[in-house]
Structures are given as structure tokens and as C-alpha cells.
Structure 1
């Protein structure tokens, strides 16, 4: 489909896998002109995800071009499974932030993309999960003339991108002293940090995934982390991302052996720790791996001039120690007027699922607390707040 729009812009839908691959250069140029983009909107990430996880015939990437072919807007979408006409984002459960791309220098890009999306949806719904506050998709949502809904999605935790000494000032002095003692222990052990180069990325990712499995052996590793398709996705996506500055892989060595590895994704505004692995030998030596990674991330992120150190999705207790800011992702639903009943039905079902999940968490927490007191000991710490980690999502675990 190709249609003309205002300002000499032309909209089309890319349905062909090979054509999507050939968009790399123009997509990367648009990505650089969209100030709100995160690495999850890079062509390297999205195309690699599609190769690993996409379904034949489901691709629906909406594009807006100038007359010379330059992209000014893009929405990476696909048709969702099932009989209902629903378009959802590329990236799936392993992607922490969803968004569209809009050229900051082209004011006509927003209405042009909104119109193209309305035509693409026809009698269906566009359902965008995990939209970060301030994302470009909010501008399209604001211009939408048909039915729309904004729902809550996953919670993310964020810290300011400042050196470790400044982060320590955010926590009580007693805790800060304990953290300083952990850092001194790390220094005494002589753990070296090294950021790997692009050509070293494939081997480093293999070590990272192996360490991640070792770290969680016998404790319930996320199944997707062990899958071939996830490993292949990272192998394809991360090297070009490292080479252009959208990602960083760091290895931590003890006596010459790699004992931990970390993958951090980076945009001009933020850096987010995506996945790490640690050898159980560190736990045996009582090394606080989370503190080690946070110090490294804080140093690298603050030195690069970025404003935010994101812990991405999830509100795990170890993240809360640093008194981060809670930033809720959003779920944006859009439809034409003829598809309003489908939108309300889908939104209502989403609200109901969140309500049931919240009740289940609260019951589990109360049960643990009562059980702990009934046994005469201290109540075990539950996690009554925040959504559960998304199934199959390889965010950080600790």
C-alpha cells in the first residue's frame, strides 16, 4: 500500500522480510533524527528480532517518506496472532521499550504517520505495549482522531546518571557504609573490567549466556535465555549495535578468567542494563555482583554525558535499595471508529488481567507473611508492589 499525504509525504506498508532488511541505512538515519528513540528501536535490534521471532506474512511496517525516499516516520508493527485484526509492535516480550520513529525536523511526520496507521489498522486495533513516557508514540496518540485508550504497563526503575559516590548519598548512611565495604572487597580481589570490541562481541555473548545459565542453575532460569533463537538474535543484533555505540558488552575478569559479563543498551539519553551473567564462584566469595555492575554502569554512563541510568523493567528488591524513581510504561491502544467495540473489549480484558495478577500477588504476599509469623520466625519478604516480570523477558535478574 502506498498513499500520498500532506507536505509531499508518501506512506506505505512494508510486508516483505527482505525489503525490511534493505531499509537498514535509511532506518538508521531516521533513528538518529528521533531524539526519543531507544536502542530497542534500532534497525539492528528490530530486524534481528524479526528474523528470530517473526511469523511469515505478519510483517506490517508502516513507513512515511519524502519524495526523495528519505524516511521521516516509521512504525515497526506486525499482525498479532488470532482471528481479530490487531497490529502490535515488533520486539515482543524481550523488548523493554516500544516506540515509533519520528523525524524531529519534520513537523508533518506526526499527522502523516497517524493517518497511515489509521489506514493500516482499517477495522482493527493498534496495540502498543511498553511505551516509555515521552516516547514519540505519545505524539501520534495525541493526534489520533478515533477511539483510543491509555493503560498502565510495566514499571521501570531509574537512577540519575551520576558517579557511585553520588548514588551512595541517596541511601541511608549505614547502608552506604556496607556498600563501601563491598566495593573495597571488590577492589581487594582485583577484578578487572574490560569493554569488548565489536569483533569480540560474538564470543563474549556466548560467555555471557553461559555465565547467566550457571548463575541461575537450579534456581529457575528464564527459559527464553536458554533458547537458540534468543542467542541467535543477540549474536546478530549486538555486534552492529556495539560498533555504532548503541550497546556495550563488558567482561569482568578474576585472575585472568571471565567471571561476569554484562550487556548494556545505550541511547543519547539513557543507558539500561539488559542482561548479565555471573560465575557462582563470585557468590561463594560473597561478591555483591549487583553492586559491582552498578558501579561500572554509573561510571560509564555519567562519563558519557547521559542523563539516566535505567534498570529497565521490574521492581526487584535489590533495585529498590538505591531509592530509584519509578517510571511506569504505558500501553497505547488506537482504532478507527468502526472498531471501537474491539478496542473497548481488548482494553477491558487487559484491565481484568492486570487486576487478577495484582490480586494474586497480594494473596501470595499475605500468605508468605502469615506463614512466616505462624512459624515463629520473621515474615519472609514478599513483593507486593509492581507487575510481575514479563514471561520470557530477559531483563536483569538477581
Structure 2
């Protein structure tokens, strides 16, 4: 159980708030956290305890800084952050980022709709006044997110920068996808489906039991590793901590009915597989893998079409969310996108200025250049794989 005696470090009248700094305390908050997420209509799987608590558990080297606000025993606002240290030139910099930000499509806080001002209080009186950081780096934030609004409304001696970072395409699937996509996309998907079916029996299935989740994830990992190896790059499944976390997160999501792990197979051989999450009538694509030998059939597109048809038939979702990233294959399905922004808040200090220069100028330059971004990602993944082996 969460130790409520630690509350009350800051907050307005009626609000008791604190900063949680251990993974064990995060685990103890899960029940209250889930209740808050259920009340917050904007919450996604990436703000849920199944995602975040398992991430903290399998990344013991991270330092949680989870800001929470209570009214009595009711959790009314939460900002899941982690503390990092970095060195820029001569300055050692303390950075706060959202937990699991690189492993999530969307970042946000949680807020109780009956007490919407509690998040603003948590940000203004708690987070922004804390002297434990030089740069607050909030990534992949929907422009309409409650956290973005709270930071915009806050005042203080810090520099706040809002930068367009990415987009997240989505498709309304309340009607058949054939009526929503372009004629060219529809023709290609249907033609490739006929060509694949001419090769043999085609089947689409979804993991139903915990054992099926384990088996399909292992199969997914083998395909993903092989695919990335062909590109000369390292799959996240080659990193032991990441693989263990994904297994744990998927099992936790499966227990809640939020996991949609699917497979398209030809004569029993996997063609493509998809790891999706289900939340709030939204099916979000987290990761897709396919076998190179089936590339000519457009295996990712066939899987997407099959998943949309399945969730529509079972009335599970109204939106197919392609997740963050405006890759060409996503935009062949839809032109509707949700803008995502990066919010940078820097202290007026040498360390804060150095970190802001890196985050606002150098990093975007690297990310805009595919080769440089790929090399940096590969360096980090190989380093992480060695450290966690």
C-alpha cells in the first residue's frame, strides 16, 4: 500500500501532493492509478499502470520522479516522470522526462475530470518549482493534452518552448475501410490479398490466452530480429531488458483486455504479425513485423486490413490509430493526423541553457537526417544490449 504519510509536501488547500521516487511506491499506487485512469477520458494505455509499472520494474536503473496529488484517499492527478543526468560541454545537467517516453506513442499526465485544477496545481506548485532538474523534456504530447495545457498555464522563472515534433495518423473505422481509403490503396490491398490466397490457405488469429501471448510474442520477436538484421540494425528484442519488459507488459495488458496481438499466416507460416493495444474504443498499432519472403504481397497492409475487419466485426474499436510517426505506409491509409509536440522547460542557468541548446537545436537536426538518427539509435541499442546482457 502506498505510504500516504509522505504526502503533503506541497499543494493548495484540500490537495496533498508529493513526488514518488521508487518503483516499489509506484507499484503500491497501481490501484489508485487505475481508478484515476478510468476516470480520465483522455488516458491511453501508455498512461496506465500495466504499461508504466512493468516498465519501472524492468528498468531498475531509472530513477522515478512521479508527481501525484490526492484529495483524501482519491488520486486526482499524476505525472509519471524519470530523472536522468547528462553532460553538455562543461555542465552536468539534470533532466526530467516522461517515463517510458521512447517506448510509448503518446505522453501525457492523468487528471480527475471532477478536479481539473489539481493537475495545474501539481505542475505549477510542484513540478515547476522543484529545484531537482535543469531541463524538463516532455515528448510526444498531443497538442490538446491536459499536461500541455497545464504547462502553458503555469508561470515561473523558466523558459518554456513548444516544438512540433511528430504526427500520429489515424483512420475512422466505423465504416468499412474500403470506403475510406484511396482507390489505389484499396485496389492494391485487395489484389495482394487475392494473390496471397492463391498461394494457399490464409488465416488470421488473435492471442486469446496467456500461453498464446507467450508463444506469439516469441514468434513475433524472431521475425522482428530477422527483419532488422537484414537492414543491418538491432531489434529491440535483442535487448534483454526490453524483451522481458514487453513480455511482462503484454501479459498485464492481456489480463485487462487491452492487448491485441495478431497474426496473418499462409498455410500455418506467419506472414506478418501486429502488436496492438486497445483502449477507449481505439486500436493503436504499436509494432508490426513481417517475413521478408512475403514482401511482394504488402504483408503489413494485409495485416492492417485484417485487423480492422476483425475489430469492426467484434465491435471493439472505432478508430485505427497508427501510432506516432508519419511513415509513408501509414499515410497510404489516411491523411488524418494528430499533431504531437515536444515541450521543453529550461532553468535560467548554465546547465539549463546547455541542455536546452542540445534538445531544441542539435537533437532535431539529428532526427531530421535519417542516416544520423539511425546511427545514433543503433549505437544506443547496442550499448543497452551489452549492458543488460
Same fold (TM over 0.5): yes
Unaligned runs of 5+ in 2: 1-5, 87-91, 382-389
In 2: Cα distance, 1:123 partner to 1:264 partner? 34
In 2: Cα distance, 1:324 partner to 1:260 partner? 24
The aligned residue for residue 130 of structure 1 is 140
Aligned CA distance change for structure 1 residues 346 and 308 (closer, same or farther; 3 Å): farther
The aligned residue for residue 59 of structure 1 is 64
In 2: Cα distance, 1:294 partner to 1:389 partner? 29
Instruction: Indicate which of 195, 205, 218 corresponds to 1:194.
Output: 205
Instruction: Indicate which of 167, 172, 176 corresponds to 1:160.
Output: 172
Instruction: Indicate which of 340, 347, 361 corresponds to 1:352.
Output: 361
Q: Secondary structure at the match of 1:180?
A: helix
Aligned CA distance change for structure 1 residues 389 and 108 (closer, same or farther; 3 Å): farther
How many corresponding residue pairs? 361
TM-score if structure 1 supplies the norm length? 0.81
Q: State the shift of 1:388 in Å.
A: 7.5
The aligned residue for residue 113 of structure 1 is 122
In 2: Cα distance, 1:105 partner to 1:50 partner? 29
Counterparts of residues 135-214 of structure 1 (less than 5 Å): 135-146=145-156, 147=158, 148-161=160-173, 162-167=175-180, 170-171=181-182, 173-188=183-198, 189-199=200-210, 200-214=212-226
Deviations, residues 82-119 of structure 1 (Å, cap 9, x unaligned): 33232111104222211111112223322332222124
2:57 aligned with 1:46, yes or no? no
Query: Aligned Cα RMSD in Å?
Result: 2.9
Unaligned runs of 5+ in 1: 365-386
Aligned CA distance change for structure 1 residues 32 and 254 (closer, same or farther; 3 Å): same
Q: State the shift of 1:131 in Å.
A: 0.9
The aligned residue for residue 76 of structure 2 is 72
The aligned residue for residue 376 of structure 1 is none
Q: Secondary structure at the match of 2:322?
A: strand
Counterparts of residues 86-101 of structure 1 (less than 5 Å): 86-101=95-110
Q: Please, which moves more after superposition, 257-266 or 342-351? A: 342-351
8 Å contact from structure 1 (residues 66, 72) kept in 2: yes
8 Å contact from structure 1 (residues 186, 292) kept in 2: no
In 2: Cα distance, 1:272 partner to 1:389 partner? 28
2:336 aligned with 1:325, yes or no? yes
Q: State the shift of 1:300 in Å.
A: 4.1
2:21 aligned with 1:9, yes or no? no
Q: Secondary structure at the match of 2:338?
A: strand
